[in-house]
Chain A
Amino acid sequence: MLSNEMADLIKQRERKGKKKKSQIPYSIGLILIAIILFIILLQKQYTYAVCWILGIGIGIVLRYSRFCFSAAFRDPFLVGNTKLLRAMLLAMIISTIGFAVVQHSYLQHNPIDYDLIPGAVTSVGIHVMIGAFLFGVGMIIAGGCGSGVLMRIGEGHGLQWVVLIGFLIGTVLGAKDYSFWYNNIIEKSKTIYFPEYLDFRIVVVVQIAILLGLHRLASWYENRR
């Protein structure tokens, strides 16, 4: 596929190339430290240890698969690529099944209390729309969302430290102003938790069907462009 000119250029460049250093020894050292910390935490507080090791797992996966949630939202209309979006839908299909098992076993012994159900169940209303919209604009101009910021800090990007500082300022301001939003909007908004209205099995099946449908739609959109 490559033309001769391009192959020549690359060869020239490779001859000029500097000697690269292997950073693998550092990674092994860091893994050992991480494991030691895990063992120490395990003896003190189980939840901390679990969060630590699974956080590391998430970080490794994010970086190795170049998983970027802001790209999943952005690439479909910026470059017409839906591969990431489809991978994200796949991830959500898998966690739908897993979350269903966890929540179902919880609800067998406990009443429905939105705050205590394992997972993220909260109220829906105009505040979510405003918040999500602000978030969407922010993640594009900052060049990364929550997970992206953490992953890129690990990679050594200086710019993402700035985004993190902005993030801290924003969350603190948002928390401070929360009473205003609560009194005006959030107090009146309802929490809609699907299993409350329909049988749990139906909810799971319908949701998986919808996610699969979106997956299909994304493929169709990509091929059409």
Chain B
Amino acid sequence: MKSITKWLKKPWPYWVGGILLGLLNVILLATSGISWQITSGFLLWGVGILQLFGLDPFSWEYFNHFQHYYSSVIVEHNAFINKYTILNMGVIVGSLIATLMASQFKWKKIKSKKQFIFALLGGIMMGYGTRLATGCNIGAFFSGIPSFSLHAWVFGVFAILGAWVGCKILIKFLL
């Protein structure tokens, strides 16, 4: 029993994770028709929340441009339950399961105001960026490269540039 507990705590090497993620992405594409993506689900959550306030974001021009993408969601009138959001919830639950298997779950608070502001600001920047680049690290890059689209390579180069600038900011303000 003790050895199982110990084994469950042990992190896997990065390359094992890489191989499995690569395979899972292919299986996802083959079975559901969508490649791994995250921010489409985020957008729909945001839309769903705005709908609760009586707004109608689905009428925005954005959704005309991405009709093939979101039409099934719009038809079914459910911004919260659809393939994109279910995928995200699966990732959260999967991570929770793995954390519990390793007995490492702990509720972690927010430390300071500065941390809060940087987190919020970083989130907004990422969110806005994903609408321009049609995806995040995952949707535009990790799934874009194997889709043989040039935009993914451009995304990769500029995300690295951004990360470099981000590191400078981090060292200056957060340390």
The chain A residues found within 8 Å of chain B, CB to CB, are: 20-24, 26-27, 30-31, 34, 47-48, 50-67, 69-70, 73-74, 77-78, 83-84, 86-100, 102-103, 115-124, 127-143, 145-147, 149-160, 162-179, 181-182, 191-195, 203, 207, 211
Contacts and interface: CB of A to CB of B under 8 A. Distances in A.
- Determine chain B's interface SS by DSSP, over half rule: helix
Interface string B1-16: 0000100100111111
B90 A166 contact: no
A63 B146 CA distance: 23
B86 A48 contact: yes
A160 B97 CA distance: 18
Contacts of B26: 94-95, 97-99, 102
A23 B131 contact: no
Interface in B64-95: 65, 68-69, 81-84, 86-95
A119 B35 contact: yes
Main secondary structure of the interface of A (DSSP, over half): helix
A122 to B, nearest CB: 5
Interface of B: 5, 8, 11-39, 42-43, 45-47, 49-50, 57, 60-63, 65, 68-69, 81-84, 86-111, 115-116, 118-152, 154-167, 169-170, 174
Contact of B132 (A67, A74, A130): A130
Contact of B122 (A34, A92, A143): A143
Contact of A137 (B19, B82, B93, B162): B162
B5 to A, nearest CB: 7
Contacts of A77: 164, 167
B128 A174 contact: yes
Contacts of B136: 135, 145-146
A137 B5 contact: no
A20 B88 CA distance: 30
Contact of B147 (A90, A103, A131): A103
Contacts of A69: 137-138, 141-142
A99 B111 CA distance: 42
A52 B94 CA distance: 10
A123 B27 contact: no
Contacts of B86: 48, 51-52, 55
A134 B91 contact: no
Given A118-B34, A142-B125, A176-B62, 7 more contacts: A23-B105, A133-B129, A137-B163, A141-B174, A168-B42, A174-B131, A175-B46
Given A30-B97, A31-B97, A132-B129, A163 B120 contact: yes
